[in-house]
Chains A and B, each alone.
Chain A
């Protein structure tokens, strides 16, 4: 491990209505690394992602992005460096795909229209949506929506991208195109923290797997070890459960 991780999460805790959802989570993410977070639903995975960019500020602990502590002061400039891809896409309904990808570039980074357009077209091409620049979100399939939202995140030139179950809202036949884009990104050296149960992505592109349960990290390790001989009984139970679900799907 290098001693300057791009993201360092230290003892992050978060309580909702008296229930401690995150009970002290710590991990590092190195430049160019992809980590995948798995765990039962309600375990705090989404909360963890939202704590990283302060969409839900942690109650204690801290998050350091590239040597800078993430705090309320200057949060907008920090968020601009952290891409976020949501399960429900959250594209801007009233804007064409091109404008979805241009808006924050102009509004947050202050890029010129020309520069924002150029970057938007590059990223939309990368995710295979060059022919959908003028389409509105409601005119896209789920897979296309998610690829557009990935392009929107990429066009900000983020230091890392957080993905919260990016394929869970998709019909099974559409997950492949999104997983492929994510694999390509990981292989191109993008730093990624991905909450997902897509084993295809985990095996092909994740450097490490984090298994979370009950607000803590139970264990983490490279996919080859964690998937084949996990240390904890809970981990193997969970892995058996999701492999059953995937076979049924």
Chain B
């Protein structure tokens, strides 16, 4: 019976999902920290830093994910052996950096310049004003667009199977080859798992967005 085997194999799918979620968390975290840094550099930095940010974004947005994965695993792996997981975090995380930098740059630029001027007039340093005034507002405004990035990267984790990360899609194809058939059923379960994680993540992000909405701005752009 298909269902007996599915039940028996389900722990493997869960294990694959768990690896996929770890990969997602790691690459989004890397992209978050570097993306904010890149965005701040490209708005407030010296022209050389702005140029660096532009070139970085062009490169990482211009190369297909699979090619990046292969480049990092086989290319950089030549010089410095990387585990498939680490190679995937770097390849997808740096690509996510480029996309997240774009999100954060837009929301940083949307923070009223007058507030930064007021902070500077009070004697706060440039970095102090960015940290205390700009980022808290910019990050709130980034949550909406960031949900798209979350969904895109969740789906991108499935590509890591090409360099041998045993995540959900990889586990599924193992199971399919063991079962010899039932491809549709197995992949339907896998699809449902991606779908649920995507919905849960988005619901969590929208809840966070609502929670962080500044009183007086309710209903001005927060998605319900």
Q: In the complex the two chains form, is B112's CB within 8 Å of A84's CB?
A: no
**Interface check B221, CB cutoff 8 A:** no
**Interface check A133, CB cutoff 8 A:** no
**Among candidates B118, B123, B133, B215, residue contacting A108 with C-beta atoms closer than 8 Å:** B123
Q: In the complex the two chains form, is A90's CB within 8 Å of B115's CB?
A: yes
Q: In angstroms, how far is the closest chain B Cβ from the Cβ of A133? A: 13
Query: In residues 131-145 of chain B, which contact A (Cβ within 8 Å)?
Result: 132-133, 136-137, 140
A109→B215 CA distance, assembly (Å):
28
A93→B112 CA distance, assembly (Å):
9
Q: A84-B121, A92-B118 are in contact. Are A138 and B216 (CB under 8 A)?
A: yes
Q: In angstroms, how far is the closest chain A Cβ from the Cβ of B170? A: 43
Residues on the B chain within 8 Å of A185, using CB: none
Residues on the A chain within 8 Å of B137, using CB: 93-94
Q: In the complex the two chains form, is A76's CB within 8 Å of B214's CB?
A: no
Give the tally of cross-chain contacts (CB within 8 A): 76
**Interface check A86, CB cutoff 8 A:** yes
Q: In the complex the two chains form, is A136's CB within 8 Å of B214's CB?
A: yes
Residues on the A chain within 8 Å of B121, using CB: 53, 55, 79, 82, 84
> What is the size category of the interface that chain A forms with chain B?
20 to 34
Q: In the complex the two chains form, is A92's CB within 8 Å of B114's CB?
A: no
Residues on the A chain within 8 Å of B128, using CB: 107-108
Q: In the complex the two chains form, is A108's CB within 8 Å of B124's CB?
A: yes
Residues on the A chain within 8 Å of B118, using CB: 84, 86, 90-92, 149
**Among candidates B114, B120, B133, B215, residue contacting A79 with C-beta atoms closer than 8 Å:** B120
Q: In the complex the two chains form, is B214's CB within 8 Å of A80's CB?
A: no
Q: A84-B118, A88-B114, A104-B119 are in contact. Are A76 and B215 (CB under 8 A)?
A: no
**Interface check B125, CB cutoff 8 A:** yes
Q: A94-B214, A139-B216 are in contact. Are A108 and B122 (CB under 8 A)?
A: yes
Contact string against B for A residues 76-114, beta-carbon threshold 8 Å, 1 for contact and 0 otherwise: 111110101010101111100000000110011100000
Would you list 7 pairs from A and B whose C-beta atoms are within 8 A, ordered by A residue? A77-B123, A84-B122, A93-B112, A104-B123, A107-B124, A108-B122, A153-B122
A-B contact sample (13 more), CB < 8 A, given A76-B124, A80-B123: A79-B123, A88-B114, A90-B112, A90-B115, A91-B118, A93-B214, A94-B137, A103-B122, A103-B124, A104-B123, A107-B132, A138-B214, A138-B215
